[in-house]
Amino acid sequence: MGPFHSKDGNRKHIYRDKNLTKTASIDESSIEMSPVVVWCDGSIDLTKNSDDDINTLVQLGRIVSKKRKLIHTFNDLNICQDFIKHVNNIFLIVSGQMGRELIPLVHDLDQIHSIYIFCMNKSTHESWAKQYKKILGVFTDIEEIC
């Protein structure tokens, strides 16, 4: 059995992995309508409560549906890619370094609505990001995205 499993046919999935910073419980029927925020960055470590990670989550919380208030965080590219394949209407925020690898793999999927590159060095990532129409920008400040 893979990391996703269905329970009693109600289409609820539980995603568990040692590299996933949070265990996400997904009810696909509620996800269909509202955007799903996915934040993928190799430096995310919510167990350490870093001020930078917490601030980013607070800012992202401003744009998440009041009904669900759920942000899916990943620090492993492969796990994030697997998650994306199983969910619709994704608003993807990805670090520049992980974006170079992840975006070519997921950009053409219908479930990706929009992509934002959140990085430390805008000029490094703007050139390659231009080739992908779903990338709406390269940002160094999370407030620019929110």
The domain segmentation of the chain, as residue ranges, is 31-145
Q: Rounded distance, CA 106 to CA 134, Å? A: 10
- The CATH number given to 31-145 is 3.40.50
Whole-number percent of the chain with pLDDT over 90: 40
CB 136 within 8 A of CB 116: yes
Which tokens is 51 given?
A: 């001020």
Q: Rounded distance, CA 103 to CA 40, Å? A: 11
Whole-number percent of the chain with pLDDT over 70: 60
Q: Rounded distance, CA 142 to CA 146, Å? A: 6
Query: pTM, whole model, 2 decimals?
Result: 0.67
Q: Which residues pair with 96 in a beta bridge?
A: none
135 or 14, higher pLDDT: 135
Task: Tell me the pLDDT band of 23, cut-offs 50, 70 and 90.
Answer: very low
pLDDT for residue 37: 85
Inform me whether the pLDDT recorded for 41 exceeds 90.
no
Q: Which residues pair with 114 in a beta bridge?
A: 91
